[in-house]
Amino acid sequence: MLKSVIPDSSELVFMSERNQSLIFAIGSVFPEAHHGHCLWHLKEKVKWHAGNVNKVIVGHRFMELGRYYTVDDFNSAYDSFEKRYPAVYKYVQEHTEKDKWARVFFPRDRYNFDTINSVESMKSVFKEATTWVLIPMLDCIVRKFSDWFTQRKEAVSRSIDTSLVPLVENYLHGLWAVAQKLSVRELNSYELKYEITDTAGKMFWVSLVEKSCTCKVWDYEKFPCLHGLAAYIYFTTNVDGNDLNIHELCSKYYWTELWALAYDRTLCVVPDMSSWNVPDQIKEVKIIPPDRIRGKGRKRVG
Ligand SMILES: [Zn+2]
């Protein structure tokens, strides 16, 4: 049923806990999609191999490993992690696959998602409704989504003058003053490649055409990093006749235009049964509940 709403695609990414039967089921329905492990749930497992070391700090360090943007930065931090926490490192090496949890090895675009926090939040919102029978539970879910759609629509209408969603608009606005002061040198005027030197003297190479920077923040987050923004400011200030808009340097998923479309539809709950207009051929269908498969183990009481 999910596949009829969301078609299989190599751009699709599923995040979950390391539940093998769930991963297998997703793989058989969505063979093109890629699967990643939730960094938070994995951290909860990893930190219990810390021995006498502070488990909270080990968990924090592990999550940091998952979020590096370049392989060099990851390798350097992973080497330190091995020296500092050898038992945890051994567990991670032997029981996890790095391309499932570390951003730098993940083969697809997953933007800034590395945990399933949004799903956990939703589970908590519908905690009581999941104890109800099916129709009231579905009604509750539809009503809540309808409320969220209305709230998002209001937020979109407040951002009508900007081409980017507030998250990215505010982020770029915050970086602008610093980006303006960075040293920029043109490397290739056809491919719009620039060399940026940051305030610490470190050099980065940016391509406005490829929407890429050697710091890799732009490549993963899908909106310009500090260096990309510096190159954009240089280009729009120094190159005559250009008409490059900043929103063209961001993924279309961050455009207010697409944001508005996502929440455009009106969601209605199922009306009262008295107003239903059920066709005769549907009324004639007799639906018998399926045979219940009795699970193994003790009966649950309550
Ligand atoms: Zn950069």
Whole-number Å distance between alpha carbons of 17 and 189: 46
The CA 216 to ligand 1 mean position distance, Å, reads 6
The CA 65 to ligand 1 mean position distance, Å, reads 19
Tokens 């961001």 belong to: 250
Output the pLDDT for position 293: 66
Whole-number Å distance between alpha carbons of 93 and 85: 12
Q: For the residues 149-153, what does the mean pLDDT come to?
A: 89
Other CB atoms within 10 Å distance of the CB of residue 161: 6
- Residue 237, SS3? helix
The CA 215 to ligand 1 mean position distance, Å, reads 4
Whole-number Å distance between alpha carbons of 106 and 296: 38
**In the predicted model, is pLDDT for residue 302 greater than 50?**
no
> What number of CA atoms fall less than 13 Å from residue 99's CA on the CB side?
8
The CA 229 to ligand 1 mean position distance, Å, reads 8
What single letter denotes the amino acid at residue 94?
Answer: E
Output the pLDDT for position 70: 96
The CA 217 to ligand 1 mean position distance, Å, reads 6
Indicate the domain borders of the chain. Answer: 2-105, 166-254
Output the pLDDT for position 170: 94
Output the pLDDT for position 197: 96
The CA 104 to ligand 1 mean position distance, Å, reads 15
Whole-number Å distance between alpha carbons of 144 and 130: 13
**In the predicted model, is pLDDT for residue 43 greater than 50?**
yes
The CA 283 to ligand 1 mean position distance, Å, reads 62
Q: Where are the alpha helices (DSSP H) in 85-186?
A: 86-95, 98-101, 117-125, 134-158, 166-181
Give tens-digit pLDDT for 242-270: 678 999 999 999 999 888 888 888 888 77
Q: Give phi and psi for 193, each to the nearest 5.
A: -105, 140
**In the predicted model, is pLDDT for residue 241 greater than 60?**
no
Six-digit token string for 184 = 């920029």
Give tens-digit pLDDT for 128-148: 998 888 888 888 999 999 999
The CA 196 to ligand 1 mean position distance, Å, reads 8
Output the pLDDT for position 105: 94
Closest by Cα among 236, 234, 198, 235 to 217: 198
Q: What is the rounded average pLDDT for all residues in the chain?
A: 88
Indicate the helix (H) or strand (E) that contains 16. Answer: strand 13-16
Q: Is the dihedral of CA 233, 239, 245, 247 positive or negative?
A: negative
The CA 33 to ligand 1 mean position distance, Å, reads 28
The CA 10 to ligand 1 mean position distance, Å, reads 26
Output the pLDDT for position 92: 95
Other CB atoms within 10 Å distance of the CB of residue 24: 10
Q: For the residues 152-179, what does the mean pLDDT come to?
A: 90
Closest by Cα among 30, 27, 28 to 7: 30
Q: Give phi and psi for 233, each to the nearest 5.
A: -65, -40
Whole-number Å distance between alpha carbons of 105 and 63: 14
Q: For the residues 55-63, what does the mean pLDDT come to?
A: 94
Whole-number Å distance between alpha carbons of 233 and 228: 9
Six-digit token string for 212 = 């890429």
Distances (CA, A) of 118 to 79, 114, 161: 32, 11, 28
Output the pLDDT for position 295: 59
pTM value? 0.81
The CA 203 to ligand 1 mean position distance, Å, reads 9
Q: pLDDT band for position 176 (50/70/90)?
A: very high
Distances (CA, A) of 279 to 139, 272, 282, 287: 22, 16, 5, 15
Give tens-digit pLDDT for 67-120: 999 999 999 999 999 999 999 999 999 999 999 999 999 988 877 788 888 888
Give tens-digit pLDDT for 180-231: 999 999 999 888 999 999 999 999 999 999 999 999 999 999 999 999 999 9
Distances (CA, A) of 237 to 21, 71, 179, 266, 288: 55, 33, 13, 43, 70
Tokens 């080990």 belong to: 58
